[in-house]
Chains A and B, each alone.
Chain A
Amino acid sequence: MHLPLVSMLRFAIVRDLPSMNTNLIWLIAVALEAAILFRGLRTGLQKRYLFFYCYIGSLLLIEVLRILCYRQTPNLYGAFYWETEVVRIVASYGVIFEIFKRALRHNPGVARTAERLLLVVFVVALTYAASDLLHGGFGSVPRATADLGRYLLYVEGALLFIMLWLFGRYRISFGRNLLGLTLGYSFLVALDVVNLAFLSTPGNGSSIALRKLIPITHLITFIIWCASLWSPQPDPLPPAESAIDRDYGLLAAKTRATFAHLSTRVGRTLRP
């Protein structure tokens, strides 16, 4: 699936240009980014979620640079947008790492399984993206940058999906700070992925509607982050150390035996 460069650049323009000078939404978003960063530094949360605050800092810096570029050299803005977008997406991988590290620090078993699974997903998705990117050729630098950004976002979406599935399956406990960070980030990535996919159909009504919704979704994400990371909240307590609770072999054998027992009993009950 290759997107026409015109629509990619139009996406950049529709997404950012009206908001650059006058759009209130954009100004509020920048203010929220600054507020998140300020509160993080003030409360010390930046030590706990270092990669996340680096990501927010890079977002703020990118926004400022984009304004400067738009004002000084508007004809270069399209290409500059995609170059900075790739930097933003690469920086956002740090947030994935942060969520993974913080969420699974008391669950070494899931962390090990997740590490392997994430590595496999990452390699598969990256190989697919790289082959598609090379297969498509490099018509122009902005086009190649736009493609790279899109593929990196898809890989990120796949990693996030696996992580969220694992968190749900193993009932991983979250503190309020980490939950807000994860939910806001999931919301942002999910809508970015869908929006970028819909760009391949420029005349599509839902595509136009989604593009208009993008600044609002970013705003909602920043509000979620601002509210959840305003003050430090205690993390869930680690489980008490007990050898018997950590014996996986024993646990797995018991659960398997229960299943075998269950099928026999249900069969015996229903048999006349």
Chain B
Amino acid sequence: MSGLIPIVLLGALILIFGGRLLVQWSRRSRTQVVTIEDYYQARAALDSVFVETAAIKRIFANEDMEFISQGRIGDVRRFFLKERKRLAIQWLRMTQRQVARLIDLHLKMASYTYEPSPSLEFQLTVKYLCFVLISNVLLAFLWLRGPFEAVKLVTYTLRSAEYFGSVFSLRLEKIDPVKLGPVSSPRMV
């Protein structure tokens, strides 16, 4: 019975991908031939999401939350949290949309080129999947705990990553190359 599972899965995946092809075809009016200009526009659109960096940083600013909390008015605090959560989710979703558009254009344009590199495409796919995963986890946190709690978590993760990064760099600096084994000399032909 266990041998059936991959075969049934294969059949199901063929049907799913066939369905996706149909959906793609039904949206064909929106998927015209693209040029490098479209790609540049998409990059500019993605950049525009970060143009007002100070304003975006403000969405997650803890000082505002502390100020509102001093007022001790429950309704104001609730309204403030709701608004910030909405803004943070909107910003993240917009970033996700722009990145997805850029990847979509990249794939379309790569399909026109004569010699795309499969390894590079694979690396990009992995990076994109990581971005999708992390941004969705962040989105879930924003939705469940609000922007301030989510930022605490992100900050903690970033600091941990930095800490491990610095530890590893120090460790590398301390390694004495002399004590390492000799480099094997190239074989003479």
Contacts and interface: CB of A to CB of B under 8 A. Distances in A.
Contact of A167 (B21, B43, B56, B121): B21
A56 B7 CA distance: 26
A135 interface: no
Given A167-B21, A183-B18, 19 more contacts: A1-B3, A106-B112, A107-B111, A108-B113, A112-B114, A112-B115, A157-B10, A161-B14, A161-B17, A167-B17, A168-B24, A169-B107, A171-B31, A198-B4, A201-B4, A245-B35, A252-B117, A252-B124, A269-B50
Contacts of B68: none
B31 to A, nearest CB: 6
A255 interface: yes
A191 B18 CA distance: 12
Interface string B106-143: 11111111111110110010011001000000000000
B35 A109 contact: no
A240 interface: yes
Contacts of A164: 14, 17-18, 20-21
Contacts of A242: 35-36
A170 B111 contact: yes
Interface in B32-62: 33-36, 39, 43, 46, 50, 53, 56-57, 60-62
B3 A200 contact: yes
A65 B57 CA distance: 75
A109 B115 contact: yes
Contacts of B3: 1, 197, 200
A81 interface: no
Given A164-B17, A168-B20, A179-B21, A269 B53 contact: yes
A193 B10 contact: yes
A186 B39 contact: no
Interface string B18-32: 101110110010010
Given A242-B35, A270-B154, A171 B107 contact: yes
A165 interface: yes
Interface residues of B, number: 62
Contacts of A182: 18, 21
Interface in B88-120: 95, 99, 102-104, 106-118, 120
B149 to A, nearest CB: 12
Given A182-B18, A194-B11, A267-B158, A116 B35 contact: no
10 contacts: A108-B112, A109-B116, A112-B115, A190-B14, A190-B15, A197-B3, A197-B4, A242-B36, A251-B109, A262-B131
Contacts of A262: 46, 95, 99, 131
A270 B60 contact: yes
Interface in A141-191: 154, 157-158, 160-161, 164-165, 167-174, 179, 182-183, 186-187, 189-191
Contacts of A172: 111
Contacts of A252: 110, 116-117, 120, 124
